[in-house]
Amino acid sequence: MASRPRLNLHPRSSYFSIFRALRFDWTASQAFLTSPTFRVVNPRNHITKGDRVSVRVSPSVVSGLQDEAILALLTKGFFGGWVFFMEGWAMRTFHPLLPAIYTGM
């Protein structure tokens, strides 16, 4: 049986354990500040603050994986954690009454 790739995250608390690989940047990029999108979201040119978060992953952890597999590992760690617990519980509990389909992660 092939082992699943891991990002060295604790299986029960992957949301919290990924914090040691995060880098927070509170400035908006120059490319965004000069883009047409910026003029749409901030037409009156109010004071702007950015909120970008980067995750640094060791190349040895993801070597041989395709981009889609790496993205799946990172998003499952976040979206499968406690952040969306209530939404997941509601979808599992009330799925017969909801017009959405929940297939799980």
Domain of residue 33, residue span = 18-56
Question: What is the model's pLDDT at position 102?
Answer: 56
DSSP state, residue 22: E
77 lies in some domain: yes
* Interatomic CA distance for residues 94 and 105, integer angstroms: 17
Give pLDDT tens digits for 71-98: 877 777 666 667 777 887 887 888 778 7
Give pLDDT tens digits for 47-72: 888 777 777 777 877 788 888 887 87
Domains in the chain: how many in total?
2
Residue 46 has pLDDT above 70, yes or no: yes
Give pLDDT tens digits for 10-39: 445 555 556 667 777 778 888 888 999 999
Q: How confident is the model at residue 4 (pLDDT cuts 50, 70, 90)?
A: low
Residue 41 has pLDDT above 80, yes or no: yes
* Interatomic CA distance for residues 44 and 35, integer angstroms: 14
103 lies in some domain: yes
Q: Based on the fold, state whether residues 78 and 49 are members of the same structural domain.
A: no
